[in-house]
Amino acid sequence: MDWSQKVVLVTGGTGSFGKKMVRILLDEYHPAKVIVYSRDELKQHEMRVAGYQDANLRYFIGDVRDLDRMRRAFEGVDIVIHAAALKQVPACEYNPMEAIKTNILGSSNVIDAALDAGVERVIALSTDKAVNPINLYGATKLAAEKLFVQSNSYAGGRKSRFACVRYGNVVGSRGSVVPVFLRQRDNGEVSITDERMTRFWISLEQGVRFVIRCVEQMHGGEVFVPKIASMSIVDLAKSIAPDAKINVVGIRPGEKLHEVLISEDEARTTVELDDMFVVQPAEALWFGRDWEKIGKLIEGDYRYASNTNDQWLTVDQIGAIIAPIETAYYAGSLK
């Protein structure tokens, strides 16, 4: 794909992922234009002040809840990366309709605006919490996935295609446990909910580069899942605060012991490649299943879970990942 000929719009472009995506696109791929679409004028101003200024960069104030505004923003756009979401689990539980309006209805608006504007490729960010969800955030992301996959059937003769990327926790992103542990370290104690807890972890840059790759390779209808490492929450705490006391406070409502990126039911239509999985739609006349020609269909009752993963980060490896995040935290960019 020749990115230099493409106009790219990033919803939620002022978030942790959005900013990293914009920076890598501008520095390495040089699109004809990059549009940051977000609802917060202060965060857009802070991006500009932080050096996100480029002749090909535009800032567009708008909410994914506002279909008319998105229709205007999507005019002339070739690629949409949909990263806007309410993602704090407690906030979504307390404000359920707000989560539904942004994560589900907002995703529906992205699809409608993209179809109306003839956007070529639209890819949405999802999460491991969308698999067998037990909290509202995960349920809204599962619904958003279903909307994006099935929206390909509405494209008809249009060139628009839709896909999703699903991965685990992003180390050091806003809302991550890493800044929490860094704050607690100063008091000599860190709190974890359960010593058995494991999570999939991916760095911000890994996530961005995976999304870019999936945009380039998508046919429409896939859910792309990278093969990533797992981490014990205890090892994370020990890496950040090796001398601190660990307090076990009990698992919170809506929280899982372990996360799943591919369920046993999805595995039946999933293709495995060297470094990722491609979850194909179960039944779709419009989906060609060309991925099966370059990968292998998973057999048996496979389940891609954080506690049974064959890739694990050691305490030292976690420390190497945390080091630049710690620097950013004390510089004030993660507080």
pLDDT digits (tens, 9 = 90+) for 186-241: 888 999 999 999 999 998 999 999 999 999 999 999 999 999 999 999 999 999 98
Structure-block tokens of residue 317: 């490896």
Q: Contact 201/229 with Cβ under 8 angstroms?
A: yes
Q: Contact 113/74 with Cβ under 8 angstroms?
A: yes
Span 255-279, average pLDDT? 95
Proportion of the chain above pLDDT 90, given as a percent: 78
Can you give the pLDDT at residue 319? 87
**The domain 3-168+201-228+260-305: what is its CATH number?**
3.40.50.720
Span 65-76, average pLDDT? 98
Any idea which residues carry the catalytic annotation? Answer: 129
Helix then strand count (H, E) for the chain reads: 12, 17
Structure-block tokens of residue 96: 């359920």
Can you give the pLDDT at residue 175? 65
- Cα–Cα dist 70/109, whole Å: 8
C-alpha pair distances (Å), 328 with each of 119, 173, 177, 178, 331: 36, 11, 15, 11, 5
Q: Is the pLDDT of residue 32 over 70?
A: yes
Domain ranges of the chain: 3-168+201-228+260-305
Q: Is the pLDDT of residue 309 over 80?
A: yes
DSSP E strand boundaries for the chain? 7-11, 33-38, 57-61, 79-82, 121-127, 161-167, 169-170, 189-192, 198-202, 223-226, 230-232, 245-248, 260-262, 270-272, 276-279, 296-297, 304-305
Q: Which of 133, 80, 138, 132 is nearest to 109 (CA)?
A: 80
CA angle at residue 153 from 115 to 138, to 5 degrees? 85
DSSP character at residue 312: B
Helix boundaries (H) for 50-128: 67-73, 89-94, 96-99, 106-117
Confidence at 333, pLDDT banded by 50, 70, 90: low
Proportion of the chain above pLDDT 70, given as a percent: 98
- Cα–Cα dist 40/237, whole Å: 33
Q: Contact 187/155 with Cβ under 8 angstroms?
A: no
Model's pTM, two decimal places?
0.94
Can you give the pLDDT at residue 183? 87
C-alpha pair distances (Å), 277 with each of 21, 155, 301: 22, 25, 15
Can you give the pLDDT at residue 113? 98
- Within 13 Å, how many C-alpha atoms sit on residue 78's CB side? 14
Structure-block tokens of residue 238: 């020990």
pLDDT by residue (tens digit) across 115-140? 999 999 999 999 999 999 999 999 99
Can you give the pLDDT at residue 334? 57
